[in-house]
Amino acid sequence: MRKLVLLGGGYGNMRILLRLLPNNFPEDTTITLVDRTPHHSLKTEFYALAAGTTTDKDVRVDFPEHERLQLVYGEITKIDRDEKAVYLEDGQTIAYDDLVIGLGCEDNYHNVPGAEENTLSIQTIAKSRSTFEELLGLSPGSVVGIVGAGLSGIELASELRESRSDLKIKLFDRSPRILRDFPEKLSNYVKEWFVKNDVDVIANSNITKVEPNKLYNHEDVINVDAVVWTAGVQPVKIVRDMDVQKDRKGRPLVNQYFQLVDDENVSVVGDCASSDLPASAQLAEEQAERIVKVLKHRFKNEPLPEKMPEIKLKGFMGSLGKKQGFVHLADTTVTGRIARLMKSGLLWMYKRQNNG
Ligand SMILES: Cc1cc2nc3c(=O)[nH]c(=O)nc-3n(C[C@H](O)[C@H](O)[C@H](O)COP(=O)(O)OP(=O)(O)OC[C@H]3O[C@@H](n4cnc5c(N)ncnc54)[C@H](O)[C@@H]3O)c2cc1C
């Protein structure tokens, strides 16, 4: 039997399963999916889990079932390309013929002293659960610092505001205006929401140190009761530790087939694959579509297409609590309730497509 092994049941590898199952892969092939959690976690919703505005069950989807799909739950510790094997913490070894690495990313603390030790995270479902417990356990009127005003920081700040009206929320933004790389209309809309809902956005900030209950912004010391870090990501450590050519963010370089440049048996998908496009679930899914195309050729021992179709992202969406949001699609920006409904609709469709 030929063995296709998928590492990580995130957006990328879920799309691969969706396309290959039930019968778009050969009879002589088995698929093994390895993840530390027994479900596909909807990372795009972790901000709501951490803020306490959605339930744990609402941010996960069961993995599919198939007689030739083996689900292995455990912590992957090493990928050995010479042995064509993957090692798990519990001692299991999984051999592969074709491997797709889709292990995602983790926080990047940019060497800020104390950041890793003294901040909460929303990068994994387990960490989001702990963050939920910390945030919701805070006494009335506590101060919460959120470091990083990208999409996840914005969504967390707004959802937490709706969840706990008593908290003082300070959102630290490195740039002079929120969502600086997007149209001013969008920035102004988000800014106005924060003003109206009493979230303090601190522009031009630079967090230089974090101590228990203290954030250092430039030279200012800010007393806080909890801090959530949403200020950047990097590929997971196992991927950073791989002996492969990488980009400056530590992500393995891939060719147009999303294979490692020196290993056609290993593909990389999603947040841990090098790309010029911004990391997102949408990008992971588009890359997965191309990996499926390549795998189908490989299953039949056919030559690969000379040129793979270019990836074009459709845009992005964000929420400001449960009632307001924004959508930026094809250079058009939509804000308000309709945008929020569009985002909820997309989530509903995604879950439906994946049997959630
Ligand atoms: C708060 C937040 C909001 C976001 N909103 C959006 C959005 O609106 N739209 C959008 O497109 N993107 C959004 N993103 C980004 C999006 O979530 C990621 O780009 C996407 O999840 C990447 O998918 P992936 O397949 O690379 O990996 P992931 O979905 O991260 O999956 C990785 C999988 O690998 C598993 N894993 C990792 N390490 C190990 C290990 N050592 N052993 C075993 N299993 C392991 C994990 O359990 C996980 O299931 C958001 C991210 C965050 C944090």
Question: Does pLDDT of 355 surpass 80?
Answer: no
Position in ligand 1 atom list of the atom nearest CA 155: 1
Chain centroid to CA 193: 25
% residues pLDDT > 70 (the chain): 100
**Ligand 1 contact, 47 CB (< 6 A):** yes
Task: Give the residue range(s) of CATH 3.50.50.60 domains in the chain.
Answer: 2-36+74-106+233-299, 109-231
355 lines ligand 1 (CB under 6 A): no
| Res 41 pLDDT > 70 | yes
Which atom in ligand 1 lies closest to the alpha carbon of residue 317?
A: 8
C-beta of 159 in contact with ligand 1 (< 6 A):
no
Closest listed residue to residue 286, CA positions, set 99, 69, 25, 19: 19
pLDDT digits (tens, 9 = 90+) for 303-336: 999 999 999 998 899 999 999 999 998 888 999 9
What is the pLDDT, as a whole number, of residue 88?
Answer: 98
Q: Which of 7, 32, 44 to mutate to test the pocket of ligand 1 (most atoms within 8 A of CB)?
A: 44
Mean pLDDT of 152-171: 98
Question: 46 CB less than 6 Å from ligand 1?
Answer: yes
> What does the alpha-carbon distance between residue 348 and residue 97 come to, in Å, rounded to a whole number?
35
pLDDT-based confidence at residue 182 (cuts at 50, 70, 90): confident
Q: How far is the CA of 43 from the centre of ligand 1 (A)?
A: 5
Beta strand pairing call for 220-223 and 2-7: unpaired
Does the beta carbon of 148 sit less than 6 angstroms from any atom of ligand 1?
Answer: no
Question: Considering only CA atoms, which residue is closest to atom 14 of ligand 1?
Answer: 44
20 pLDDT above the threshold of 80: yes
Is residue 356 pLDDT above 70, yes or no?
no
**What is the CATH architecture of 109-231?**
3-Layer(bba) Sandwich (3.50)
Ligand 1 proximity of 281 Cβ (cutoff 6 Å): yes
For tokens 């042995």, what's the residue? 83
10 lines ligand 1 (CB under 6 A): yes
Ligand 1 pocket check for 12: Cβ under 6 Å: yes
Q: Is pLDDT at 69 greater than 80 in this prediction?
A: yes
2-36+74-106+233-299: CATH topology is FAD/NAD(P)-binding domain (3.50.50)
Q: Which amino acid belongs to residue 193?
A: W
Q: Is the CB of 122 under 6 A from ligand 1?
A: yes
- Which ligand 1 atom minimizes the distance to the CA of 12? 25
pLDDT tens, residue by residue, 251-298: 999 999 999 999 999 999 999 999 999 999 999 999 999 999 999 999
